Chains A and B, each alone.
Chain A
């Protein structure tokens, strides 16, 4: 008898635990539906849109969003605040821009009539330096644009994370890294274009390239989701929440950090490479701390620690900039700043975080109702059983 009622209880508890430990699917249905809608909206723009400017913005925003995603991976999921992530974005962008510029100069003589980029010429160079020759080949440049920043990130990661440098110190070091690169670019202007940056080369503003960027964004989105949704992703989150405890549990925190930092830098470099090819202009500002901080803001507004967040935040903030900066030229910066403060105060997890929390709360409420029903059923069965067991004992022979 006791065992019978016990098994009911165990079953109920098992049922309960099945419900309460709610494992989110790889892609929740609202994200899937909304995502497909947005992808269709962006991908089909060349067919229904007429405004070339909006087309150019879409490609740019997608590159920015991938960059914000790369920051979200290290900051939102692993707790490494990097203010120098633009270094990797900028390196990727510079490799591609240099390659395109070198090729462009071959067919378009500069204002001085030479066949090398104009910034080399006014700095007294007469031919393309030897170490830049390989960049004439665009394929080599693409490989460099993706590999060099990743290797740099690996080096940086080994230097800092293996020495247990993290938190504020890491933020300061990445900031310094960014400033050093900026100084380098401005100082070696014969090779980098210096303060003026690299401009005036053939860029790829075409629907096909927009689709390419979109495809890369989708791949990175799924990749990031797979990574953070896996066991490794759980370890990353535990490092974010309490790195000491994660270390005591036996995980090699430094290696996990280096790994995610390299993945993130790879993404940033890819975003930068596509950005350079799309926009047709790269300058030292693209490697600077201000740009990194801007991307941190997009991530925070969209929702750190979520994969959708960086995309939502980037499109929202940059979109607001597009609407407001023309209409309210003197006010838009204050408005965007106000939006940021509002989001941080009212929704600490960003917009997506707030929506997700609302969804979770709703689910929990539904769950509670279900649980109550479950308990009611249990007590009813118990009573039934006790009533039943009370009667036959007397009737037993």
Chain B
């Protein structure tokens, strides 16, 4: 009998494994391609959130919320009698990969729209692609505003929706006037703080100092030293990601409590508090359109469904809620125009779309593609949730350009002149970068 040699065995094993992999992945891929070419019985929706890399924690929650919404829509019978089919891509927290995958979703998978992106960097990386190939992007994150794109619908808050009431509230209700601004060194904190400073001038606040930490830096002892000796009575933080966790922890370890100098932030969510431990955040304030503790039947059932799907310990947050209702808005828009044509969605389907979201009724603005949202201020409690201490009486209009900083600037996609320019085939806007022409 022939002896099985180690090398022969290894070779066979390797060949076997690669064979299995090839047989598992290849036919699936081809089947998928054939299915989309034949315009099957599903409507493809791209989902573009990092499942690996530095921002995976928060982006995975958006990804989950969108999948939950799609499952719910499908359970109710889908859209136009077809099921929504999520096409999932992992951009690995890298802007290059975001751009590449966005291209793939639009050109290879031919999705009707993409729900995706979290950081401003990733949005800026994919926007030219959506404009070039006329795709639809639903962007769920709060961001620095001063942008509007025909192809993008922003369901997150703009700074004015979070700050216009927050800063006066800090000054008048909390009675704190001396602000110390700390943020990460990139576009979102810089633009947000520009607005904070304008609001401080308007409402009689005082700027003590302004500091930008390098992105990704998690050592804040010198900054906290400066805060303690600066004589400020409130810290306004737009640090992001892991920095939030590090900053709040070190702040408490240093011995400053929320009674001495509270931290106010437009970006710290339940997600970061869960990561840092609720004792580090107790008493600090956040301004958002949504908190998990919002007392509304829609929200209770949303939180319940989310926990049933992703585990008892899962928490919901504002950005994820935006991603969730954005998915519904997309489904309703497709129902409304009875088509998956991007131009129909961009000009008729999505603008003015209203939906009863967990935070309340929300609407996409017809003029600037941003969303009417509610204003809320929360104080973090021991359970890692927010006690809502203030709520706006009505929904707040989105203003990508706030009048007190940029008077006379706005964008209006209902203006006939703008429409005429945008709808022209192969117009400059559609064809901004080089396209394939043989």
A51 to B90, CA, bound (A): 21
Residue B104 at the chain A interface, CB threshold 8 Å: yes
Q: Which residues of B contact A55 (CB under 8 A)?
A: 436
For the complex, is B175 an interface residue (Cβ under 8 Å from A)? Answer: no
Measured in the bound complex, the distance between the Cα atoms of B434 and A47 in whole Å is 18
Return the chain A residue nearest B37 by Cβ: A50
Give CA–CA (A186, B295) in the complex, Å. Answer: 42
A114 part of interface (Cβ distance < 8 Å)? no
Contact A186 B434 (CB under 8 A): no
Contact A206 B95 (CB under 8 A): no
Known: A112-B146, A195-B215, A286-B96. A205 touches B107 (CB 8 A): no
Count of chain A residues with Cβ under 8 Å from any Cβ of B? 54
Q: A56 CA to B51 CA in the complex, in Å?
A: 24
**Which of B21-29, B320-328, B349-357, B389-397 lies at the binding interface?**
B21-29
Contacting residues, chain B, for A53 (C-beta < 8 A): 103-104, 106-108
B89 at interface by CB-CB < 8 Å: yes
Interface of B is mostly: helix
Say yes or no: B90 contacts A200, CB within 8 Å: no
Using a Cβ cutoff of 8 Å, how many contacts connect chains A and B? 133
What distance in Å separates the Cβ of B31 from its nearest Cβ neighbour in chain A? 10
Annotate B363-393 by CB proximity to A: 1 below 8 A, 0 otherwise.
0000000000000000000000000000000
A327 interface neighbour in B28, B104, B107, Cβ under 8 Å:
B28
Asked if B127 is at the interface (CB within 8 A of a chain A CB), the reply is: yes
Q: Do B436 and A194 have beta carbons less than 8 Å apart?
A: no
**Is A202's CB under 8 angstroms from B125's CB?**
no
Q: A202-B432, A203-B434, A280-B433 are in contact. Are A329 and B124 (CB under 8 A)?
A: no
Main secondary structure on A side of the interface with B: helix
Quick check: which of A13-21, A213-221, A318-326, A363-371 contacts chain B, the rest being far away?
A318-326
Residue of B29, B89, B94, B215 touching A329 (CB-CB under 8 A)? B89
How far apart are the CA atoms of A329 and B103 in the complex, in Å? 16
Whether the pair B14, A195 counts as a contact (CB closer than 8 A) is: no
Please name all residues of chain B whose beta carbon is closer than 8 Å to the beta carbon of A160 when the two chains form the complex.
Answer: none
- Which residues B112-127 have CB closer than 8 A to chain A? 120-121, 124-125, 127
A187 within 8 Å of B by Cβ?
A: yes
Per-residue CB proximity of A160-188 to B under 8 Å, as 1/0? 00000000000000000000000100110
Whether B120 pairs with A196 at a CB distance below 8 angstroms is: yes
Contact check: which of A52, A112, A123, A201 meets B433 at CB < 8 Å? A201
Kindly state the separation between the CA atoms of A354 and B51 in the bound complex, as whole angstroms: 35
Interface residue total, chain B, C-beta cutoff 8 A: 52
> CB < 8 Å: which of B14, B95, B106 contacts A285?
B95
For the complex formed, measure the closest distance between the CB of B98 and the CB atoms of chain A, giving whole angstroms. Answer: 9
Q: A52-B436, A285-B95 are in contact. Are A187 and B32 (CB under 8 A)?
A: no
Q: Is A281 an interface residue (CB 8 A)?
A: yes
- CB-CB under 8 A from B190, the residues of chain A are 122-123
A264 near B: Cβ within 8 Å?
no
Chain A residue at minimal CB-CB distance from B63: A329
User: Does chain A have a CB within 8 A of B10?
Assistant: yes
Indicate if A191 sits at the interface (CB-CB under 8 A): no
Min Cβ gap B46→A in Å is 10
Which B residue sits closest to A345, measured CB to CB? B10
Question: Is the CB–CB distance between B121 and A205 below 8 Å?
Answer: no
How far, in Å, is B275 (CB) from chain A's closest CB?
A: 21
User: What are the interface flags for A310-341 relative to B under an 8 Å C-beta threshold, 1 for contact and 0 otherwise?
Assistant: 00000000000011111111101101000000
Q: Distance (Å) between the CB of A213 and the closest chain B CB?
A: 14
Nearest Cβ on chain B to A284's Cβ, whole angstroms: 9
Interface presence of A54 (CB below 8 A): yes
> Which listed residue (A57, A195, A280, A327) contacts B186, Cβ 8 A?
A195
What would be 28 A-B contacts, judged by CB atoms less than 8 Å apart?
A53-B103, A53-B108, A56-B100, A56-B107, A111-B146, A112-B146, A122-B187, A123-B190, A183-B214, A189-B186, A194-B186, A195-B121, A196-B124, A196-B125, A199-B99, A199-B124, A199-B127, A199-B128, A200-B124, A201-B128, A202-B432, A206-B436, A283-B95, A326-B29, A326-B87, A326-B89, A327-B25, A327-B32
Interface residues of B (CB under 8 A from A): 10-11, 14, 17, 21, 25-26, 28-29, 32, 51-52, 87-90, 94-96, 99-101, 103-104, 106-109, 120-121, 124-125, 127-128, 133, 146-147, 185-187, 190-191, 214-215, 409, 432-438
10 closest A-B pairs by beta carbon, nearest first, are A53-B107, A196-B121, A53-B108, A195-B186, A200-B128, A52-B107, A329-B90, A329-B88, A283-B95, A281-B99
